[in-house]
């Protein structure tokens, strides 16, 4: 069985700070990490690899040269090989253009596959759109918010998380699944794995020329959406200290919550 895991290197948004004067993000010194949901996607693939003999796990990313480090981390966790799609042509793409490039890489570079795992969403953009749009480009079925999956040959039984429970879904390969935090607990890299990631395993670097598509199908030019402006949300001013009896204060809070449509 051939599994592809789509991963993304993201800035650790917990560490992102704002330049108070320019009102912009300070990216310098912010660590880059493997996107958390993608770690769950990889873990699910590795669980299948541990369980069955014939599983081959390829991780695939699109990103700048420094994303190599994240791919090595994935290899050190146990992935078999990695593909790194990189080039100026891909820059500035929205989810339409990004999924186009990744789907083309799967088609042209990876070839055959049974399951594609992706994280539900990346913590920098939080869109959750690239996974489903890759599936659409490839013309395969998708199940998002996968909290559990059992694979038996080409038959899958999947639990798909809903806000108030879950659905049980039966499906067949080929399929794209997106993983969530609840899917599993990602493993750590291990020492031999780290050695192998740098000495034994391969990261194949691919460029735009390898995809066999036109320049205007990827990157900013191909993107239907544009960022018109970005801004820092107005920082919260210091709040109000309520006055009165406990009952009066409680009522003031309730009224305000109701007026803000929060309750």
Partner 1 sequence: MPIVQDTSAYKNVWVFAEQRQGKLMPVVIELLGEGKKLANEIGTQVCAILLGHNVDGLAKELISYGADKVYLGQDELLEKFTTDGYTNVIAEAITEIKPEIVLMGATHIGRDLAPRVAARVDTGLTADCTQLEIDPEDKKILQTRPAFGGNIMATIICEKHRPQMSTVRTGVMDKAHKDDSRTGEIIKLDVRLEKKDIRTDVVEIVKAMKEIVSLTDADFIVSGGRGIGNQEGFELIKKLADKLGGVVGSSRACVDAGWIEHSHQVGQTGTTVKPQIYIACGISGAIQHLAGMQSSDLIIAINKNANAPIFDVADYGIVGDLYDVVPKLIEAIGNAEELVAALK
Chain residues 186-225 in contact with partner 1, contact rule CB under 8 A: 214, 216-217, 221-225
Residues of this chain, 17-36, that bind partner 1 according to CB under 8 A: 18, 25
| Residues 154-158: contacts with CB under 8 Å, at least 24 apart | 154/114, 156/115
Q: Does position 107 bind partner 1 by CB under 8 A?
A: no
For residues 204, 210, 213, 214, the Cα torsion angle rounded to the nearest 10 degrees is 110
Structure-block tokens of residue 169:
């879904």
Element (H, E) at 146: strand 141-152
Q: Does position 129 bind partner 1 by CB under 8 A?
A: yes
| Number of residues engaging partner 1 in binding (CB under 8 A) | 84
Residue 53, helix vs strand vs coil: coil
Which one, 199 or 226, has the nearer CB to partner 1?
A: 226
In this chain, which stretch among 59-67, 73-81, 108-116, 166-174 interacts with partner 1, using CB under 8 A?
166-174
Residues of this chain, 43-102, that bind partner 1 according to CB under 8 A: 94-96, 99
d(CA 189, CA 201): 14
User: Which residue from 6, 135, 203, 206 is in contact with partner 1, where contact means CB under 8 A?
Assistant: 135
Structure-block tokens of residue 21:
């004067």
Q: What are phi and psi of 177, to 5 degrees?
A: -120, 140
User: Which residue from 62, 143, 151, 179 is in contact with partner 1, where contact means CB under 8 A?
Assistant: 143
Kindly report the number of other CB atoms within 10 A of residue 48's CB atom. Answer: 19
Which one, 199 or 224, has the nearer CB to partner 1?
A: 224
Which one, 185 or 225, has the nearer CB to partner 1?
A: 225
In this chain, which stretch among 43-51, 72-80, 186-194, 236-244 interacts with partner 1, using CB under 8 A?
236-244
């Amino acid at each position: 069985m051939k599994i592809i895991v789509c991963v993304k290197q993201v800035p650790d948004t917990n560490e992102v700070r704002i330049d108070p004067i320019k009102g912009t993000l300070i990216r310098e010194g912010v660590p880059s990490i493997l996107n958390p949901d993608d770690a769950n996607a990889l873990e699910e693939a590795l669980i299948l690899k541990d369980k069955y003999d014939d599983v081959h796990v390829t991780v695939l990313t699109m990103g700048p040269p420094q994303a190599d480090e994240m791919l090595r981390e994935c290899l050190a966790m146990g992935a078999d090989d990695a593909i790194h799609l990189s080039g100026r042509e891909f820059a500035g793409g929205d989810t339409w253009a990004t999924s186009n490039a990744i789907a083309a890489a799967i088609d042209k570079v990876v070839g055959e596959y049974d399951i594609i795992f992706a994280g539900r969403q990346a913590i920098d953009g939080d869109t959750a759109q690239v996974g489903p749009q890759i599936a659409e480009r490839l013309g395969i079925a998708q199940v998002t918010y996968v909290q559990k999956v059992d694979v038996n040959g080409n038959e899958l039984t999947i639990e798909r998380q809903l806000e108030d429970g879950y659905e049980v879904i039966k499906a067949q390969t080929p399929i794209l699944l997106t993983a969530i935090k609840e899917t599993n607990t990602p493993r750590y890299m291990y020492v031999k794995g780290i050695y192998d990631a740098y000495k034994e395993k391969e990261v194949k670097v691919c460029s735009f020329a390898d995809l066999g598509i036109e320049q205007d199908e990827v990157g900013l030019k191909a993107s239907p959406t544009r960022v018109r402006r970005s801004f820092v949300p107005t920082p919260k001013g210091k709040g109000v200290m309520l006055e009165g009896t406990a009952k009066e204060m409680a009522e003031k809070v309730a009224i305000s919550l109701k007026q803000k449509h929060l309750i």
